[in-house]
Amino acid sequence: MGFIIAYIVYIKSMLPEILLLFWTEDELPNFVVSKGWGQVFWATIFSFVMLFPMSIPRSINALRFSSLFGVLCSVYLSLAVFFVFYCDKDMVPNPSQNFKDANLFSVSTKV
């Protein structure tokens, strides 16, 4: 369930950004690229076009396709995060410095 929600959140936030790489905001309808209704639009489309048909298998054997889709989406998401972290110098100028500055454990007695 958590993976499904993560995919919906990823798709609804990234598709308007991806479309704006190829077209300007004036060339596309407002409901497709806006922050509010655009995200609702893409979440709905992704949920009913991709996820809903895969959630109603006719036999238990058909679950392998939705499981494969979930694994492939996980691999894609992991690779995308990895390559953005190490290759996009605008977003992460110095990856090794980020690891040094990370506060991995925070032990505190405060509640």
- On whether both 3 and 16 belong to a single domain, the answer is yes
Is the pLDDT at 42 greater than 80? The verdict is yes
SS3 content of the chain, % helix, strand, coil (to 5): 70, 0, 30
- On whether both 8 and 34 belong to a single domain, the answer is yes
Which residues are CB-contacts of 30 (< 8 A; sequence separation ≥ 6)? 37, 38
- On whether both 49 and 94 belong to a single domain, the answer is no
- On whether both 66 and 101 belong to a single domain, the answer is yes
- On whether both 2 and 18 belong to a single domain, the answer is yes
Task: Kindly report, residue by residue over 48-77, the tens digit of the pLDDT.
Answer: 887 777 777 666 666 777 778 778 888 888
- On whether both 33 and 48 belong to a single domain, the answer is yes
- On whether both 71 and 87 belong to a single domain, the answer is yes
- On whether both 16 and 2 belong to a single domain, the answer is yes
Per-residue confidence (pLDDT) for residue 62, from 0 to 100: 65
Q: What is the distance between the alpha carbons of residues 50 and 35, in angstroms, rounded to a whole number?
A: 22
* C-alpha distance from residue 23 to each of 19, 26, 35, 38 (Å): 6, 8, 16, 15
User: Please, are residues 11 and 43 in contact by the beta-carbon 8 Å criterion?
Assistant: yes
- On whether both 1 and 41 belong to a single domain, the answer is yes
- On whether both 52 and 8 belong to a single domain, the answer is yes
How many domains does the chain contain in total?
A: 2
- Find the domain containing 42 and state its range: 1-56
Q: The pTM is what?
A: 0.48
- Domain final residue, candidates 56, 77, 95: 56
Q: What is the distance between the alpha carbons of residues 2 and 15, in angstroms, rounded to a whole number?
A: 20
- On whether both 43 and 89 belong to a single domain, the answer is no
User: Please, are residues 104 and 92 in contact by the beta-carbon 8 Å criterion?
Assistant: no
End-to-end alpha carbon distance in the chain: 30
